[in-house]
Amino acid sequence: MSQPFLLDHLSAKNLGSLAMPDFCPRCYWAKARMSFNGPWNSFPSIFSNIDIYSKKVTEAHIKAHANLAPSWLMQFGNIVGQLPCPHWSKFSFTDPATNVKLRGSPDERFQMADDTVAILDYKTARFTEHQDELLPIYTVQLGVYRWLTLKLEHKETSVTGLVYYEPPTKEEMESFDPDKILTDGFLMKFKAHILPVQTDLAQVESLLAEAQRIVQSNDPPAGKVGCKDCQKIEHIRQMFV
């Protein structure tokens, strides 16, 4: 009998997908066995660049204003200092119950006045109903960062949340300011929308156990009824029969 396939590491995002209403165990089983590097995956690098720029904005404001975070971030509470966000390769911990190394890296961590931690993630998007559909993933991701902060640094997290940097609306674009046109390009305003998110450490550990249970099966589990990805996989399989 062949040895069961076991997860040895998992990212916060890939754990979060288990919390989605349309989660399909069969698709997850297949993705895990491809190390979550399936075909035809693509992600425009421009969003990563904007994410880096957002962090630089916060960093520059803190340096210019005597360690004070931008006013929109202060809506999360009494922030008194910025904390480092280690790279995901350093920010990882092996769960003893499943032997899975969980890893990730938040966009921002702050020291609060009560000596607890605030953990935030940035999203370059307008907060809409479509974004709301992804909240289960984002919630688990933030929960993982909170879990890792506790396991690695023994620090309690009192605040977890999202910061949406929203591009101009259609109405705002209709009243476009010509001064934003430069000789080498143009300026675009991003407005901050904050969203506090409640996280659950027990959920993180429960999903870890569920992920390991699904993946270790030698045979693929049943898919979610009506799963469109399963239908596409079957269509591709039939093409090569």
CATH number for the domain including 94? 3.90.320
Q: Which residues of 83-102 are buried (b: 16+ CB within 10 A; e: fewer)?
A: bebeeeeebbbebeebebeb
- The pLDDT score that the predictor gives to residue 131 is 65
Note the pLDDT of residue 93: 97
pLDDT in tens, 187-212: 888 999 999 999 999 999 999 999 99
Ranges of the chain with pLDDT below 70: 1-3, 129-131
- Here the tokens at position 238 are 């039939």
Q: Please return the burial class of 113, using the count of CB atoms within 10 Å of its CB with bins 0-12, 13-18 and 19+.
A: exposed
- Whether residue 136 is contained in a domain is answered as yes
* Predicted local confidence at residue 130, as pLDDT: 67
> Per the structure block, which two tokens stand in for 145?
């960062």
Residue 113 lies in a domain: yes
The answer to whether 119 touches 149, Cβ cutoff 8 Å, is yes
The CA distance from 213 to 134, in Å, is 24
186 falls within a domain:
yes
- Alpha carbon distance 107, 183 (integer Å): 32
Half-sphere exposure of 24 (CA within 13 A, CB side): 16
Residue 40 has what pLDDT?
76
DSSP tag of 77? S
How confident is the model at residue 189, as a pLDDT? 87
Q: Where are the beta strands (DSSP E) in 36-188?
A: 79-83, 92-95, 100-103, 108-112, 117-123, 157-166, 181-182, 185-186
- 130 assigned to some structural domain: yes
- Closest to 73 measured CA to CA, from 55, 91, 50, 53: 55
Beta-bridge partner residues of 9: 101
* 1 assigned to some structural domain: no
Question: What integer pLDDT is reported at residue 55 of this predicted model?
Answer: 93
Give me the DSSP letters along 116-176: -EEEEEEE-S---HHHHHTHHHHHHHHHHHHHHHHHHH---EEEEEEEEEEPPPHHHHHT-
d(CA 207, CA 167): 34
Give the span between the Cα atoms of 112 and 64, in whole angstroms. 19
Question: Per the domain annotation, does 208 fall within a domain?
Answer: yes
Q: pTM of the full predicted structure?
A: 0.91
In a domain, 76, yes or no: yes
Place of tokens 């919630």: 139
Residue 28 maps to a domain: no
Domains in the chain, number: 1
Query: Domain range holding 152?
Result: 9-16+43-239
